Structure 1
Amino acid sequence: MHAAQSIVAPAFFALTLVVAGRPVQRRLVRLGMHRMLAALLVLLALYLVLVVLAVALGWSIAQLSTTLPQYAPEFEGLYQTVSDWLATLGLQVAGINQLLGAVDFNSVLGLLRRAASGLSAAGAQVALLVVVMFFLALDSTDTASRRRLLARARPQLSDALSGFVVAVGRYWIVATVFGLIVAAVDVVALSVIGVPLAVTWGVLAFVTNYIPNIGFVLGLVPPALVALLDGGVSSMLWVVALYSVINFTIQSIIQPKITGDVVGLSPTVTFVSLVFWALVVGPLGALLAVPLTLFFKAVLIDPDPGARWVDAFLVTAGAAAEPATTPEPVAVTDDGAAGAERGPESFPDRQGSG
């Protein structure tokens, strides 16, 4: 997977996005819309979301590239102040000066420009993401026969994958809703404080909200630094205080609790999976840490009753306390929705929808 990360990461990302749109697609089919038309409408909606996100990121990077040069004198003054303060403490700052002397404000702008060019270089992965989403949307119009075959041959695996589909869809919904809340609150708070580029930092907060555990820190550092350069220490302290109260409370306390209830993974496993998958499949692994963990849990652990003891170390306390039950065979209706399949011990009138 590490060797093929440029293929694995965007392909799996495409899978999770199409899976997240499946409930809407099934609802459209139940309302009488043709399967192909429903799949195309959901696909277009997903493409629109990706385009809006890409435009917002590009606009934010452009805003940073044009605005940050205005703070070059303040940055150099801050650097000199810190060097003088370290000197008064008796620290040997010669080595630090030699190290940081080559890191001027223009190099920071160079990092932004390289980030922008890196987004352009990722065009191949974006193209793969778009194409895979298209073919997955076509395949999603006729999944009944595949799911019947899987339910007959591997009923426990079928049940586990059905759980994965539900959990991933809920995870993206929870992350998106909380990201929008955090971004809106941050923009208002930063505007009140008077920090420049408030909307840009709101976009950053929305994107970093998809990164478990450390997204709060990644979204805090840039606006705090700009607040320090623009308004001084007091402005920076206000940003840190508001982010700690708002973002930390929402992203690190409330959201993980709801996410844990939705996907069943403990906070420790979520953080370790973030580090692990970022090393395995690259930067997208940080965004896909929870879905990837859920997928391999569904494939390797949930279908095997003898391996479910591993859940004691993976899932939340409430989920771990629930006794393991044998999954019920899953049947698939003509519109692709899963229902309870009649087995030898099933009641004749028991049937539902998934």
Structure 2
Amino acid sequence: MSERSVPRAVVVLLGTAAGMISLFGLREVASILGPVVLALVLVIAVSPVRAWLGRKGMPGWLQVALPFLIVVLVLLSMVAILTVSVTQLATLLPTYARQFQDLIHEAQRLAAGFGIGNEQLNKALQSFDPGKILALAQGLLSSLLGVLSSLFLIVVLLLAMCLDAPITSRIIAAGHSERPGMVAALSTFATKTRRYLIVSTVFGIICAALDVGALYLLSVPLPLLWGVLALITNYIPNIGFILGLIPPAILALLDSGPKQMILVIIAYCAINVVIQSSIQPKFLGDAVGLSTTMTFLSLIVWAFVLGPLGALLAIPLSLLTRALLIDSDPSAKWAAALISGEMPAETAEKPGKPSAAPAPAPSSDKK
């Protein structure tokens, strides 16, 4: 007597429904989940430092303290630079009120030249009020205060995870005999995440330094702020470069006109094409293990769930999801190949096994 299996359509529908419920549930606790995931990713990033100290025979407290201090100093430095720069931006923007009005009048004149001069267009153009831009800058300052309030939670989580990292590593290693698939998947997740973070950080710093130099030569205000923004947006897949380009390009337009804005766009595009599109992929290789489509979808999904922090952590979160749901299941190799865009190794012709449609070999000697 054979058991009747559940129809594939029912499994897909139930899985989709469970996934949607899980995503909306995670969205409700985004204020907690975001710092937790960020702390986890940062601990994974500095884990080689702890391993190196362990191989050198350093005491346990130093293996915890040094990686923790490295991460905290990096976070505090970035927050300090952003706070000072955004404060300067809020002071600088009101001085461009006349330039805003000139741009509005020029846009109205160009629109009238193309026969577009209706009242709705004029209202839309005049809605670009410098006061709104100032309010936006003040909103950025408020959001920075929110980051500072979350920073305490992130630091506490970092300390707790750094303290638990050695015992957690031993527990995971001890479970290899019972759950080899899960242990291997988590190890692969940590390795790929660490490689992605290291490569993205190194090339992000290079791009940011070149961007700052280009903006300094072009006399664009606040080049350090836009350099830090370029470094942060380097972790956002697909659209990070555009997000990092828009603010300095607009500021160059207000400060020196369209020609300066075009030069900023050209400089950013040249740096991005050479560094991020040509050199960085050669070092990153297949560390991410996600196709272009899946990378873009992960950006949309995690930005929806966790907001801006989800956009920054889209790749690590997708790697963690893949490790827990796909890589740990030996029967889901086809799904891993689907999201990575790579042909599974099992499809290659195995030694001693005939292919699906072998071609008849001509006989060289006939009797």
TM-score (norm. length: structure 2): 0.83
Asked whether the 8 Å contact 1:216–1:248 carries over to 2, the reply is no
- Mapped to 1, the partners of 2:264 and 2:219 lie a distance apart of 10
Aligned in 2, Cα 1:184/1:258: closer, same or farther, shift over 3 Å?
same
Q: Which runs of 5+ in 1 are unaligned?
A: 325-354
Partner of residue 133, structure 2: 108
- Mapped to 1, the partners of 2:218 and 2:125 lie a distance apart of 30
Partner of residue 36, structure 2: 11
Bigger Cα displacement from structure 2, 118-127 vs 68-77: 118-127
1:279 to 293, 304, 316: 304
2:211 pairs with 1:172: no
Partner of residue 337, structure 2: 312
Partner of residue 19, structure 2: none
By how many angstroms is 1:184 displaced?
0.8
Q: Aligned-residue CA RMSD in angstroms?
A: 1.8
2:124 to 82, 88, 99: 99
Asked whether the 8 Å contact 2:108–2:117 carries over to 1, the reply is no
- Mapped to 2, the partners of 1:231 and 1:240 lie a distance apart of 14
By how many angstroms is 1:47 displaced?
0.4
2:85 pairs with 1:60: yes
- Mapped to 1, the partners of 2:176 and 2:232 lie a distance apart of 37
Q: Deviations over 1:231-271 (max 9, x none)?
A: 22211111111111112442345435544522222222211
2:167 to 131, 136, 142: 142
By how many angstroms is 1:139 displaced?
0.4
Q: Deviations over 1:270-295 (max 9, x none)?
A: 11111110001221100110000000
- Mapped to 1, the partners of 2:188 and 2:231 lie a distance apart of 27
2:211 pairs with 1:193: no
Aligned in 2, Cα 1:116/1:64: closer, same or farther, shift over 3 Å?
same
Q: Deviations over 1:58-104 (max 9, x none)?
A: 12211211222222211110111101211221114421322343431
By how many angstroms is 1:9 displaced?
1.1
2:311 pairs with 1:293: no
Aligned residue for 2:28, secondary structure, equals coil
Structure with greater contact order relative to length (CA < 8 Å, sep ≥ 6) = 1
Aligned residue for 2:121, secondary structure, equals helix
Partner of residue 127, structure 1: 152
Q: Which runs of 5+ in 2 are unaligned?
A: 1-25, 348-367
Aligned in 2, Cα 1:124/1:62: closer, same or farther, shift over 3 Å?
closer
Q: Deviations over 1:308-337 (max 9, x none)?
A: 1012221153xx45449xxxxxxxxxxxxx
Percent identity between matched residues is 44
2:64 to 35, 39, 42: 39
Aligned residue for 2:220, secondary structure, equals coil
- Structure 2 matches for 1:250-269, cutoff 5 A? 250-256=275-281, 258-269=283-294
- Mapped to 2, the partners of 1:306 and 1:52 lie a distance apart of 46
Asked whether the 8 Å contact 1:213–1:252 carries over to 2, the reply is no
Asked whether the 8 Å contact 2:108–2:125 carries over to 1, the reply is no
Asked whether the 8 Å contact 1:179–1:206 carries over to 2, the reply is yes
2:69 pairs with 1:69: no
- Mapped to 2, the partners of 1:83 and 1:246 lie a distance apart of 34
- Mapped to 1, the partners of 2:224 and 2:148 lie a distance apart of 26
Bigger Cα displacement from structure 2, 226-235 vs 259-268: 259-268
Partner of residue 112, structure 2: 87
By how many angstroms is 1:143 displaced?
2.8
- Mapped to 2, the partners of 1:151 and 1:133 lie a distance apart of 26
Aligned in 2, Cα 1:144/1:294: closer, same or farther, shift over 3 Å?
closer
By how many angstroms is 1:8 displaced?
0.8
Aligned in 2, Cα 1:37/1:26: closer, same or farther, shift over 3 Å?
same
Asked whether the 8 Å contact 1:256–1:267 carries over to 2, the reply is no
Bigger Cα displacement from structure 2, 275-284 vs 259-268: 259-268
Aligned residue for 1:263, secondary structure, equals coil
2:259 pairs with 1:234: yes
- Mapped to 2, the partners of 1:218 and 1:249 lie a distance apart of 18
2:231 pairs with 1:206: yes
- Mapped to 2, the partners of 1:106 and 1:144 lie a distance apart of 53
2:249 pairs with 1:224: yes
Aligned in 2, Cα 1:242/1:93: closer, same or farther, shift over 3 Å?
farther
Kindly name which structure, 1 or 2, has the bigger radius of gyration based on alpha carbons.
2
By how many angstroms is 1:26 displaced?
0.9
TM-score (norm. length: structure 1): 0.86
Aligned residue for 1:142, secondary structure, equals helix
2:198 pairs with 1:160: no
